[in-house]
């Protein structure tokens, strides 16, 4: 496409707000703004659907089908005449001319919101980036599922012990919520599913699941009690948790640790960190810690005009969060709501409201009837069955679409009864 070609969006006398990214923050902002017909709203995303990231690991572990945790943008915005959706990527932004460049051509904006989220951070290790398996999208979750099931199929025809160990052992790097939830899900699969699906393998003796955490505790940012509970749950489930251990290399067959230990495995799931994905063309001075965009309390990107950022890509300091907010869905959603409110105030010539994050708590599930919950006000934490039920309720409520809620609920009920879902399919794209 000729870069001088303009994206086909009707011109309007209303100010145009362009949102890049349909994650939690961008989507919340778009939904609020679509109700204000005084603005023309353009949502740009490389996919035509919103992805519910907290449940990626259940897709990877064959617990949910991908379609049950995604929701098409166009269905969400049906009937919104001031809303325009374009499925493409933004390759660069020119703040001087107030234009975005995409493979479809360029797009003008009056106000730009960067909600591009975050991607996996491999901390500059090219070997790990090349060989490890990230999980930041539905497609990556499916790829991980295919790899796990493929390797167990290959293990059936691998008679030698050492090569077979590389196929069946799984290493998870990162002891945050994603790593803990993956480890717990794999432990349940090892106990309840693999012995039935692969009776020819000695699952109990041969299959090992490692969770490697560089720090001295799991679930950093949670209470000490919740971290200890998660560690106890995983240990009791047979997961080999290695604390104060740092992965230095992974060549595709062997995981190398800083203390010299090595773990034979062809599967390393990388959940050890994320980094922001700012748009090319923004001033270098705007990029700060974790490759995020420095924004003020009104979401304005440093050293720019009419450019804002919300969600994981935004780095904002406030009195209660002097080192920035955690990169979680609740922060993104609240940022989207606050910025939408300020755009509404702008129409009414009211002063904008600075953002204040209201921490509603943290939770992580480790498996069936095992979860931990931290509530900040009043300070309270608990674990076990009731924490697990709360985790189920909160996530079920947050999923978009009645059909998706129903399908996920049915899948969870079936899994609770027999652990034996029929989603363990190896689905590969056709190669021409």
Q: Which residues are catalytic?
A: 181
Long-range pairs of 3-7 with CB within 8 A, sequence gap ≥ 24: 3/101, 3/105, 3/106, 4/105, 4/106, 5/104, 5/105, 5/106, 6/105, 6/106, 6/107, 6/108, 7/86, 7/88, 7/102, 7/104, 7/105, 7/106, 7/107
Give the 3-state secondary structure of residue 172: strand
Strands 170-173 and 267-270: parallel
Using an 8 Å Cβ cutoff, are 113 and 300 in contact? no
Give the 3-state secondary structure of residue 87: strand
Here the tokens at position 371 are 């979860």
Cα–Cα separations (whole angstroms), residue 372 to 65, 174, 230, 422: 25, 17, 7, 28
* Entry field: residues in the chain: 432
Residue appearing with tokens 């990214």: 21
What's the CA gap between 217 and 231, in Å, rounded? 8
């Amino acid at each position: 496409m000729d870069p001088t070609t303009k994206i086909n969006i009707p011109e309007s006398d209303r100010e145009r707000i362009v949102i890049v990214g349909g994650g939690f923050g961008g989507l919340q902002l778009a939904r609020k703004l679509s109700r204000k017909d005084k603005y023309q709203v353009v949502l740009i995303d490389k996919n035509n659907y919103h992805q519910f990231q907290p449940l990626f690991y259940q897709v990877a572990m064959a617990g949910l089908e991908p379609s049950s945790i995604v929701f098409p943008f166009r269905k969400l915005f049906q009937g919104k005449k001031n809303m325009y959706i374009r499925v493409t990527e933004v390759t660069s932004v020119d703040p001087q001319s107030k234009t975005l460049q995409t493979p479809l051509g360029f797009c003008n904006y009056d106000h730009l919101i960067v909600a591009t989220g975050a991607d996996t951070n491999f901390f500059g290790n090219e070997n790990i980036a090349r060989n490890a398996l990230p999980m930041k999208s539905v497609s990556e979750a499916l790829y991980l599922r295919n790899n796990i099931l493929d390797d167990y199929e290959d293990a059936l025809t691998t008679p030698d012990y050492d090569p077979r160990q590389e196929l069946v052992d799984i290493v998870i790097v990162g002891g945050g919520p994603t790593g803990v939830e993956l480890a717990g899900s794999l432990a349940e699969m090892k106990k309840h599913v693999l012995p039935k699906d692969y009776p020819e393998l000695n699952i109990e003796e041969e299959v090992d699941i490692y969770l490697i955490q560089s720090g001295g505790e799991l679930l950093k940012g949670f209470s000490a009690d919740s971290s200890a509970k998660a560690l106890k749950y995983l240990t009791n489930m047979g997961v080999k948790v290695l604390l104060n251990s740092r992965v230095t290399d992974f060549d595709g067959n062997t995981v190398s640790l800083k203390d010299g230990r090595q773990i034979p495995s062809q599967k390393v799931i990388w959940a050890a960190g994320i980094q922001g994905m700012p748009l090319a063309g923004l001033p270098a001075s705007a990029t700060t810690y974790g490759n995020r965009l420095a924004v003020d309390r009104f979401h304005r990107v440093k050293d720019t005009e009419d450019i804002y950022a919300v969600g994981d890509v935004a780095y904002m300091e406030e009195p209660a969060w002097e080192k920035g907010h955690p990169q979680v869905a609740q922060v993104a959603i609240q940022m989207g709501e606050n910025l939408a409110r300020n755009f509404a105030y702008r129409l009414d010539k009211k002063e904008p409201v600075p953002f204040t994050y209201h921490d509603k708590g943290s939770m992580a599930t480790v498996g069936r009837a095992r979860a931990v919950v931290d509530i900040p006000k009043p300070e309270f934490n608990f674990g076990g069955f009731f924490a697990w039920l709360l985790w189920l309720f909160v996530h079920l409520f947050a999923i978009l679409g009645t059909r998706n809620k129903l399908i996920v609920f049915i899948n969870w009920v079936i899994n609770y009864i027999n652990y034996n879902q029929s989603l363990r399919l190896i689905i590969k794209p056709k190669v021409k």
